[in-house]
Amino acid sequence: MIAEAGHYALVLALALALIQSTVPIAGARWGDAALMNVARSTALAQLLFVAVSFTALVMLHVSSDFSVVNVFENSHSTKPLIYKITGVWGNHEGSMLLWVAILALFGGLVAAFGNNLPLSLRAHVLAVQAWIAAAFYLFILVTSNPFLRIATPPIEGRDLNPVLQDIGLAVHPPMLYLGYVGFSISFSFAVAALLEGRIDAAWARWVRPWTLVAWIFLTLGIAMGSYWAYYELGWGGWWFWDPVENASLMPWLAGTALLHSAVVMEKRNALKVWTILLSILTFSLSLLGTFLVRSGVLTSVHAFATDPTRGVFILLILCLFIGGSLTLYAWRASALKQGGLFAPISREGALVLNNLFLTTACATVFIGTLYPLALEVLTSDKISVGAPFFNLTFGPLFVPLMMAMSFGPLLAWKRGDLLAAAQRLTAAGIAALVTIAVVYAWTYGGSTFAPLAIGLAIFVIGGAVTDLAERTALFRVPFATAMQRARGLPRSTWGTSFAHAGIGVALIGIICETTWNSEYIGTLKPSDVAKVAGYELKLDGVTQRQGPNFREMIAQFTVSLDGEKLSVMTPSKRNFTTRGSSTTEAALLTRGASQLYISLGETTNEGAVAVRIYHKPLVLLIWWGPILMAFGGMLSLSDRRLRVGAPKPAKASRALQAAE
Amino acid sequence: MTRKQRRLTMIGGSLAVLAVAAALVLNAMRDSIVFFSTPSMAAEKQIPTGKRFRLGGLVQPGSLVRGDNLAVNFSVADGAATLPVSYKGILPDLFREGQGVVAEGALDASGVFKADTVLAKHDETYMPKDVADALKKQGHWKDDYGAKPGASAASAPAQGVTK
């Protein structure tokens, strides 16, 4: 019964989405407020029904109802409860249901909190949102129904892919989807603006908080996924430039550009047409990511069992929405009033530079990700584009971006003074140079690139601190006054500084980890000692243990530094009987921001075990950086200005409707 | 600055950045792209020693030999040809005899493929997509490859250890 109820609720959600995608638009054309208000109630009802459908699938998984194909294929009665719940989206059908559930959630939020939006804009936004929703409901119902039954129910399920039986699955996909799908709101706003033929600074102010929410979640989602790969895959790698990772990085880059261009639009009423295009591109890249991961054109841990019809269906959705929105853009963008041009040396000029580099960097990732696919289709040559390609293209483009990042916030709107900004950055510059010298001397004979990169990171962090110090007039006025000023600063200013500093922090982590990573790979017998980066790791012994749905081989290591015992580490290897596959559970020992990392390989006949031990200096900074960035985003989101709501759109813009 | 000059600065700046990016991409394309081959394609194309490529195929059952210090030798087969591979390090969890594998490295003077990476990028059927496609094209694909990962995988590790 539960499965049928869930299925039925999804069909009802589709019906509601179809109403929501047409009636409000008709209402807006005829100026009928009642019809436009239909969007609000249908969006809320849609959220309700999708929630029912999703809850139904969760209940089926929790109660291990193996008469449902989806549960049979991805669950097992002995699986711990948390993985029964997270396993709901650990498969293709369930993850698509999560996707539409989050889409409906965002639609519901716009409906519930969009009271200060002009009625016709809200109607249009929710209608566009419903087009996307309807397409994906159809996709689920036609090709990926999670509620299908098996005629003769088996007694036991096939269990979830062991790699996914981890707490990471509870956090990473929902976060990432909140990010991906959150960009649908800015897309809907952009298409609505094109349909209405009207856009102004108020529009940017409405769009910005939604974009910021999506960006925060995407940032955290990517960082979480990276940390998960780092500890779960047993290789100690945290970013592989895998197409699936790139698929999440591209919307992030475009979304970051969008956040910045929306600022220009809000403050200076310029870059309107560009901001609209970025909104469309960001969500298009999210859709592309969904296509790459869900269609089966790629093989990775993210691609669950695949079926060609699904790929074709998603490709159709992709073409329809990207093609449709870009056509609409080409047709209508000229009707939008252009904003003014401005001086290159100014805050808005710096933001344009940011956009230029971010979108170009995004384009290189796009080429590196899709070129192998295109080449295979055209010439059937198979190639792989790996880390070297991205290091050579993406890296150089990020260097000027990071240099400019410190200057941007110090420049005034309209006309900035580069020399004055440079003078204010003297302290940051000196700190960077000192760091370069110290690191270079300390690691003399090693890499020359690493000290320079760390210097750049220090410059970025220093720039963020300088911005705050300048605004609070720290060191120029009494300390108490400066603190008072600090409290009075807009939260978005704090947000900018945290987010920018986060980039610098992450860069330090990345450089330290890749340059000074030390490793030991070999076989150890009990009471053998491995030495890595000054630490001594003694293998005490290997024991076996039975887990709920796996057998586990646990090795115990005693870690000591300079003869002093620090801790005990217990990496393990789990063997999942149902799927006959094993996973490596790495053991991590955190020392400050650095980590010791042990993962196990096979055991040999003589009782020795193959181990991989890494010492990763300052590796945790790689993830603290994004956390700082997300924290900055949250601070900015809590800014009073965004809560107060946007001003009423300028009356003058009415005249633009004549352009229709 | 006049309006026209500003516009020119903007457009010129953008074009400069795009040109630099294009140059970077073309340069990287020349040096850092790795082709994929199966053993028979490798034999056919006469890949020179030292040129990096990705080798894909099935791990020949019974070919896995473990030496000292984590040295591993095995053969990769695609039904028409086999190529010996040597690797030093820990094989991924999903490595199995008789199952698909992708290794990255280059041929040495004696014709042995020196792998520096053995990839674990399988889906749950233990068959890398590149390998599956290549085998299908050469007509060596059997539908039962990967159909029952549990059954074949359960026995495979035991073979690996005793050899």
What lies within 8 Å, CB to CB, of A540 at 6+ separation is A526, A527, A556, A557, A558, A568
Beta pairing class for B82-88 and B113-119: parallel
Task: Name the token pair of A183.
Answer: 């960009």
Would the CB atoms of A610 and B1 count as touching at under 8 Å? no
Which residue is listed with tokens 């008072």? A484
What pLDDT does residue A234 have? 77
Distance from CA of A363 to the nearest CA of B (A): 9
pLDDT tens figures, A57-94:
999 999 999 999 999 988 999 899 999 999 999 888 99
Q: Cβ contacts (< 8 Å) between B130 and chain A: which residues?
A: 299, 382
Distance in angstroms (rounded) separating the CA atoms of residues A642 and A648: 14
pLDDT tens figures, A180-198:
999 999 999 999 999 988 8
Find residue A535's DSSP bridge partners. Answer: A532, A561
pLDDT beyond 90 at B70: no
Q: Which of A264, A379, A384 to probe by mutation at the B interface, max B CB count within 10 Å?
A: A384
B26: closest chain A residue by CA: A393
Q: Cβ contacts (< 8 Å) between B66 and chain A: which residues?
A: 604
pLDDT beyond 50 at B152: no
Answer yes or no: are the C-beta atoms of A620 and A595 closer than 8 Å. yes
Confidence of residue B127 (pLDDT cuts 50, 70, 90): low
| ipTM exceeding the 0.90 mark | no
Cα A141–A143–A144 angle (5° rounding)? 75
Q: How confident is the model over A507-525, as a mean pLDDT?
A: 92
Any long-range contacts for A189-193 (C-beta under 8 Å, 24+ apart)?
A189/A121, A189/A125, A189/A279, A190/A275, A190/A276, A190/A279, A190/A280, A190/A325, A191/A124, A191/A128, A191/A280, A191/A325, A191/A328, A192/A121, A192/A124, A192/A125, A192/A127, A192/A128, A193/A121, A193/A276, A193/A336
Q: How confident is the model over A210-239, as a mean pLDDT?
A: 92
pLDDT beyond 80 at A48: yes
pLDDT beyond 50 at B160: no
CA-to-CA separations, A37 to A15, A112, A199, A499, A521, in angstroms, rounded: 17, 12, 21, 38, 65
Task: Name the token pair of B28.
Answer: 């990287």
Answer yes or no: are the C-beta atoms of B55 and B42 closer than 8 Å. yes
What pLDDT does residue A659 have? 37
B130: closest chain A residue by CA: A382
- Cβ atoms < 10 Å from Cβ of A54: 23
Q: Cβ contacts (< 8 Å) between B35 and chain A: which residues?
A: 381-383
pLDDT beyond 70 at B143: no
Q: Which amino acid is at A82?
A: I
What pLDDT does residue B121 have? 52
Confidence of residue A162 (pLDDT cuts 50, 70, 90): confident
| Segment among A143-157, A228-242, A301-315, A438-452 with least mean pLDDT | A301-315
pLDDT beyond 90 at A477: no
Distance from CA of B134 to the nearest CA of A (A): 10
Q: How confident is the model over A522-543, as a mean pLDDT?
A: 92
Nearest to B83 by CA among B65, B52, B58: B58
Nearest to A69 by CA among A91, A36, A49: A91
Q: Cβ contacts (< 8 Å) between B44 and chain A: which residues?
A: none
Distance from CA of A78 to the nearest CA of B (A): 18
More confidently predicted of B37 and A509: A509
Q: For A382, which of B13, B36, B153 is closest by C-beta distance?
A: B36
Would the CB atoms of B123 and A300 count as touching at under 8 Å? yes
What pLDDT does residue A648 have? 56
Confidence of residue B120 (pLDDT cuts 50, 70, 90): low
CA-to-CA separations, A130 to A24, A105, A139, A557, B1, in angstroms, rounded: 10, 12, 14, 55, 47
Q: Cβ contacts (< 8 Å) between B1 and chain A: which residues?
A: 343-344
Q: Is B57 on the interface with A (CB under 8 A)?
A: no
Would the CB atoms of A578 and B150 count as touching at under 8 Å? yes
Answer yes or no: are the C-beta atoms of A144 and A92 closer than 8 Å. yes
Ranges of H-type helices in A233-346: 243-268, 272-294, 308-318, 324-332
Ranges of H-type helices in B32-142: 39-45, 129-137
pLDDT beyond 50 at A625: yes
B121: closest chain A residue by CA: A300
Confidence of residue B131 (pLDDT cuts 50, 70, 90): low
pLDDT beyond 50 at B155: no
Q: Which of A271, A382, A391 to probe by mutation at the B interface, max B CB count within 10 Å?
A: A382
What pLDDT does residue A372 have? 85
Q: How confident is the model over A522-530, as a mean pLDDT?
A: 90
A643 burial (CB, 10 Å; 0-12 / 13-18 / 19+) is: exposed
What pLDDT does residue A292 have? 83
Task: Name the token pair of A546.
Answer: 């039975």
Q: How confident is the model over A584-597, as a mean pLDDT?
A: 93
More confidently predicted of A218 and A73: A218
A390: closest chain B residue by CA: B28
What pLDDT does residue A474 have? 84
Topology (CATH level 3) of domain B35-162? OB fold (Dihydrolipoamide Acetyltransferase, E2P) (2.40.50)
More confidently predicted of A332 and A578: A332
Answer yes or no: are the C-beta atoms of A539 and A569 closer than 8 Å. no
Look up residue A319 and give its DSSP letter. I
Distance in angstroms (rounded) separating the CA atoms of residues A97 and B121: 26
Which residue is listed with tokens 């999560």? A98
Would the CB atoms of A602 and B160 count as touching at under 8 Å? yes
User: What are the backbone dihedrals phi and psi of residue B152, each rounded to the nearest 5 degrees, phi first?
Assistant: -75, -35
pLDDT beyond 50 at A279: yes
% of chain B surpassing 70 pLDDT: 72
Confidence of residue A236 (pLDDT cuts 50, 70, 90): confident
Q: For B90, which of A342, A361, A521 is closest by C-beta distance?
A: A521
More confidently predicted of B41 and A53: A53
Confidence of residue A25 (pLDDT cuts 50, 70, 90): very high
Within 13 Å of residue A479, how many CA atoms lie on the same side as its CB?
Answer: 0
Q: For B70, which of A341, A381, A523 is closest by C-beta distance?
A: A523
What pLDDT does residue A114 have? 87
Which range of A102-111, A306-315, A338-347, A440-449 scores highest in mean pLDDT? It is: A102-111
Q: Is B124 on the interface with A (CB under 8 A)?
A: yes
More confidently predicted of A659 and A354: A354
What pLDDT does residue B137 have? 67
Mean pLDDT, chain A, whole residue set: 89
Distance from CA of residue A328 to its chain's centroid? 27
% of chain B surpassing 90 pLDDT: 15
Would the CB atoms of A384 and B91 count as touching at under 8 Å? no
pLDDT tens figures, A410-457:
998 888 888 989 999 999 999 999 999 999 999 888 888 999 999 999
Q: Check residue A306 and give left, alpha or beta (phi > 0: left; psi -120 to 50: alpha).
A: beta
Q: Is B141 on the interface with A (CB under 8 A)?
A: no
Distance from CA of B83 to the nearest CA of A (A): 19
Would the CB atoms of B149 and A581 count as touching at under 8 Å? yes
Any long-range contacts for A649-656 (C-beta under 8 Å, 24+ apart)?
A649/A118, A649/A198, A649/A200, A649/A202, A649/A203, A650/A200, A650/A201, A650/A202, A653/A198, A653/A200, A653/A337, A656/A197, A656/A198, A656/A335, A656/A336, A656/A337
Which residue is listed with tokens 């290549």? B134
Which range of A252-256, B9-13, B135-139 scores highest in mean pLDDT? It is: A252-256
The size of the A-B interface in CB pairs under 8 A is 134
Distance in angstroms (rounded) separating the CA atoms of residues A461 and A503: 8
User: What are the backbone dihedrals phi and psi of residue A586, each rounded to the nearest 5 degrees, phi first?
Assistant: -70, 150
Q: How confident is the model over A99-107, as a mean pLDDT?
A: 97
Q: Is B125 on the interface with A (CB under 8 A)?
A: yes
- Taking only residues 93 to 122 of chain B, the set having a beta carbon closer than 8 angstroms to any beta carbon of chain A reads 93-94, 120-122
What pLDDT does residue B162 have? 26
What pLDDT does residue B125 have? 47
B70: closest chain A residue by CA: A522
Distance in angstroms (rounded) separating the CA atoms of residues B137 and B126: 18
Confidence of residue A646 (pLDDT cuts 50, 70, 90): low
SS3 A590: strand
Q: Is B7 on the interface with A (CB under 8 A)?
A: yes
Would the CB atoms of A602 and B121 count as touching at under 8 Å? no
Write out the E strands in A426-550.
Answer: 518-524, 529-532, 535-546
Distance in angstroms (rounded) separating the CA atoms of residues A608 and B92: 18
What pLDDT does residue A307 have? 67
Is the whole model's pTM more than 0.95, yes or no? no
Look up residue A317 and give its DSSP letter. H
Distance from CA of A461 to the nearest CA of B (A): 25
Which residue is listed with tokens 């490709």? A315
Q: Cβ contacts (< 8 Å) between B28 and chain A: which residues?
A: 388-389, 392-393
A348: closest chain B residue by CA: B10
Q: How confident is the model over A298-324, as a mean pLDDT?
A: 75
Answer yes or no: are the C-beta atoms of A499 and A625 closer than 8 Å. no
Q: For A580, which of B32, B154, B161 is closest by C-beta distance?
A: B154
A58 burial (CB, 10 Å; 0-12 / 13-18 / 19+) is: buried
